[in-house]
């Protein structure tokens, strides 16, 4: 991925694309006036999180830090889906080495996103199940467009959200609501999500969502960035360390669980259901 630092560019246009023109799985746009970056996920058709997309997300988050952006909006170029979550093809009948790399890339992306020094907003302009919900939960603020759903629905697929998915949710809605949300694997409507605090705002469309997300970022306009980022670190570091200090155990637990015959069977049934649904709608 060819990233060019905003700081090295001399452009008159206020909107700078930090990536080269080649098609990529993400794009990072920076508004020079506001200093806000927009990280667009754009892997067709539904931003399923595979090894390559996760690797690009981490690189873009790092780039946004290098160019000292004042805040970031995480959103989707594919209207209707924020992210469909982990790419099931990385887990179903997997090639072992690739599956490990995939999981480590997911760990990397979460560690980076959960701990960014700059403020982050998820503009959820489409459905946001499982890994998609995790990305949204890892931002500091969530604005969802009405009619879309969000939740950690892993149990519905017969799989289990890792401990750090669970912690990310607990840190937003608390233990009690997380227990119900996670065991039932419920996908919350936008209004349900607002009611339990899983999102902060429900709006009519993406344009309004971006405006509201940027309004959140603007709350930090006069806050010295060092003080802000250290405060965030104090609040989030323990959760991050829980994973950083247990990456290998977490990896092994994922691999062992994913390879259980009943889990493979659940995933296979799910893929069949998706194919059937897809062929019907064609």
Tokens 């997997």 found at: 94
Q: Which residues inside 221-240 make contact with its own copies, applying CB under 8 A?
A: 222-224, 226-228, 230-232, 234-236
- 15 forms part of the interface with its own copies (CB under 8 A): no
Q: Which is nearer to its own copies, 249 or 257 (CB)?
A: 257
164: closest CA among 107, 119, 121, 115? Answer: 107
Structure-token pair, residue 159: 């799989």
Q: State the binding string over 127-166 for its own copies (x if CB under 8 A, else -).
A: -------------xx------------xxxxxxxxxx--x
Q: Does 261 bind its own copies (CB under 8 A)?
A: no
Lookup: tokens for 82 = 């924020």
The partner residues of 121 in beta bridges, in order of sequence, read 73, 141
Q: Which two tokens stand for residue 234?
A: 């104090």
Beta-sheet strands, E only, within 51-206? 71-76, 80-81, 120-124, 126-129, 141-145, 149-151, 188-189, 201-203
Among residues 128, 185, 199, 258, the one that binds its own copies under rule CB under 8 A: 185
Write the interaction track for its own copies spanning residues 196-225; mark x where CB under 8 A is met and - where it is not.
Answer: -x---------------------xx-xxx-
Cβ proximity to its own copies: between 96 and 224 the closer is 224
**35 part of the interface to its own copies, by CB under 8 A:** no
Contact between 78 and 84 under an 8 Å Cβ cutoff? The reply is: no
Whether 268 is catalytic is no
The catalytic residue positions are 86, 131, 153-154
């Amino acid at each position: 991925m060819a990233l060019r630092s905003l700081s090295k560019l001399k452009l008159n246009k206020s909107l700078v694309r930090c990536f080269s023109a080649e098609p990529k799985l993400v794009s990072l746009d920076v508004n020079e006036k506001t200093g806000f970056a927009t990280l667009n996920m754009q892997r067709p058709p539904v931003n399923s999180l595979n090894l390559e997309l996760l690797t690009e997300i981490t690189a873009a988050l790092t780039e946004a830090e290098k160019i000292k952006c004042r805040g970031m909006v995480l959103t989707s170029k594919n209207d209707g889906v924020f992210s469909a979550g982990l790419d099931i093809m990385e887990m179903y009948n997997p090639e072992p080495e690739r599956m490990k790399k995939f999981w480590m890339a997911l760990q990397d992306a979460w560690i980076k996103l959960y701990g960014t020094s700059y403020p982050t907003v998820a503009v959820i302009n489409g459905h946001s199940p499982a890994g998609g919900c995790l990305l949204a939960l890892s931002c500091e603020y969530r604005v969802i467009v009405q009619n879309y759903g969000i939740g950690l629905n892993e149990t519905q697929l017969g799989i289990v959200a890792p401990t750090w998915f669970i912690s990310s949710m607990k840190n937003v809605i608390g233990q009690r609501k997380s227990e119900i949300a996670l065991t039932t694997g419920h996908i919350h409507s936008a209004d349900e999500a607002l009611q339990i605090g899983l999102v902060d705002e429900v709006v009519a469309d993406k344009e309004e969502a971006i405006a509201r997300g940027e309004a959140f970022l603007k709350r930090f306009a006069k806050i010295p960035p060092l003080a802000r980022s250290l405060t965030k670190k104090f609040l989030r570091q323990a959760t991050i360390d829980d994973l950083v200090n247990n990456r290998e155990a977490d990896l092994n637990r994922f691999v062992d669980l994913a390879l259980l015959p009943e889990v493979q069977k659940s995933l296979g049934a799910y893929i069949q259901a998706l194919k059937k649904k897809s062929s019907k709608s064609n």
